[in-house]
Structure 1
Amino acid sequence: MKSQITKSLDYLGISSATLCLVHCLVLPFISIIPIGISHNHWIDLLFASIGLFAVVKIVKTNTLRYIKIILLVAMSIILLSIIYTIITHNHTLFLYVGGIGMIVGHVLNFKRHKH
């Protein structure tokens, strides 16, 4: 039962991080078209909140230490990048690094539960 909950959290984390990356990669191209859509850091914060929920729950389980470190570092990078964006209104590429780290961490954790 515990393994099923962790798998669900991994699905949630992978989905959230992937949607966040797609949002961050596609939206700058869409914003070139003059239809009034702009990049909103509050949407990034929403995705980060969902990811943070999954990471906190996974860190409390008996997941391997290196997977916990990957997830915590990736989440920290994402949150710091969003805070930087809110303060300076400049976007950094660190958000993408954190998103990729989240996906990698959740995939590694998911694969560990398959074995």
Structure 2
Amino acid sequence: MIDITKKPDALGALASSLCLVHCVATPFLFVAQSGLVVNHLTMPSWWKFLDFLFLAISFLAVYRSTQTTTINWIKPALWLSYGGLFVIIMNEKMELLPIPEATIYIPTIALIGFHLYNKKYCNCTTNNQCCAHE
């Protein structure tokens, strides 16, 4: 298991990538299920729960990553991406605004990218040598 205190960006990139796979797979599973169950066009409850699981894991990863990063602009970038993901998922659950389904890919891919960038360039090493990309 990945220790979030030591590798929050790896966890964040993994969680965001799994979230992306979940988002891409949902329409296909919906179509497959609707072909099997006539007039019951709903996804299993455990599949819907994954949205909240990914939000929780992503929150922890963003929180920890922003504590350990050495580049100031990455902090708001991670939080903005997470905030966008949170708003889109909550909007989808509450059906407040008609936002296109594909919109969720923007913050998800942004989180993956920012976590990978942060993992590669912006963390202090074990001997406290930090990158100087300020």
TM-score tier by shorter-chain length is 0.7 to 0.9
Whichever structure has more helix as a proportion of its residues is 1
Please tell me the root mean square deviation across aligned C-alpha atoms, in Å: 2.5
Point out where structure 1 has 5 or more consecutive residues left out of the alignment. Answer: none
The residue that corresponds to 2:43 in the other structure is 38
What is the Cα deviation at residue 99 of structure 1?
0.5
From the CA coordinates, give the structure whose radius of gyration is larger.
2
Within 2, Cα distance between the matches of 1:35 and 1:66?
48
The residue that corresponds to 1:70 in the other structure is 77
Q: State the TM-score, normalized to the length of structure 1.
A: 0.81
Within 1, Cα distance between the matches of 2:48 and 2:106?
16
| Structure 2 counterpart of 1:83, from 75, 87, 90 | 90
Cα deviation digits, residues 11-56 of structure 1 (max 9, x gap): 1001100000001001211221134672754321210110100101
Relative to structure 1, the CA distance from residue 107 to residue 62 in structure 2 (aligned partners, 3 Å threshold; closer, same or farther) is closer
Is 1:98 equivalent to 2:107 in the alignment? yes
Within 2, Cα distance between the matches of 1:64 and 1:16?
22
The residue that corresponds to 1:15 in the other structure is 14
Shifted more, 33-42 versus 84-93: the winner is: 33-42
Q: State the TM-score, normalized to the length of structure 2.
A: 0.71
Tell whether the 8 Å contact from 2:16 to 2:109 is kept in structure 1 after alignment: yes
